[in-house]
A and B are shown apart, each in its own frame.
Chain A
Amino acid sequence: EVQLVESGGVVVQPGGSLRLSCAASGFTFDDYAMHWVRQAPGRGLEWVSLITWDGGSTYYTDSVKGRFTISRDNSKNSLSLQMNSLRAEDTALYYCAKAVAATGGLFDCWGQGTLVTVSS
């Protein structure tokens, strides 16, 4: 069974940093691209970032470019999101999502999410 388990979400002050992690199991991790998708309270889903199967390419939504960094460790079946210079508008439930292929933006499995709150 495919499982994605996020961790690392906490309350952090504006301007602070945070690192989210996602532990993957139940599939061949390095065959698939991975994503972070977030959902602010009461809002719709927002794609945040993509990393291809080998980590060779990364993509970001404009609002996080230069502040967030996605990475993966295929030897540990893990995905990370380093979040710097956090803003109130980054407050959201952050989901780790598995793509259906080595690249691309169709997600067939999601974790339960980890909550990031940016507040003073």
Chain B
Amino acid sequence: EIVMTQSPATLSVSPGERATLSCRASQIVGGNLAWYQQKPGQAPRLLIFGASTRTTGIPARFSGSGSGTEFTLTISSLQSEDFAVYSCQQYNNWPYTFGQGTKLEIK
């Protein structure tokens, strides 16, 4: 099983600033890496797939990068609606695995 490790567990950032979230895979997953956003009481929402491709309707301030085992989600200028939990997921091999999530909170 591929273990996904996210850091940090919690990130405190002020609105308008940049947030950088990291995700590491225990094995190479190629570009088969997705990022999801989850707000309290809501289902996860797919933001990024293929490590760097935004889903339709996702603002350009969200960007993904990386390949192999190291990946990054960057939110360039945080808006109030961006404070949420972000999870990475590898879909290169089953069992498909998620990171434990990074909680992005208002500083």
Query: Which A residues have a C-beta under 8 Å from some C-beta of B?
Result: 35, 43-47, 50, 59, 61-62, 95, 100, 104-113
Contact = CB atoms under 8 A, between A and B. Distances in A.
A71 B98 CA distance: 23
A100 B53 CA distance: 14
Contacts of A46: 98
Interface size class of B (residues with CB under 8 A): 20 to 34
Contacts of B44: 45, 95, 107, 110
Given A44-B87, A45-B87, A111-B43, A105 B98 contact: no
Contact of B91 (A45, A104, A113): A104
Contacts of A43: 100
A47 B43 contact: no
Interface of B: 1, 32, 34, 36, 42-46, 49, 55, 87, 89, 91, 94-101
12 contacts: A43-B100, A45-B36, A45-B89, A47-B96, A62-B1, A95-B44, A105-B91, A105-B94, A110-B44, A110-B45, A111-B43, A112-B43
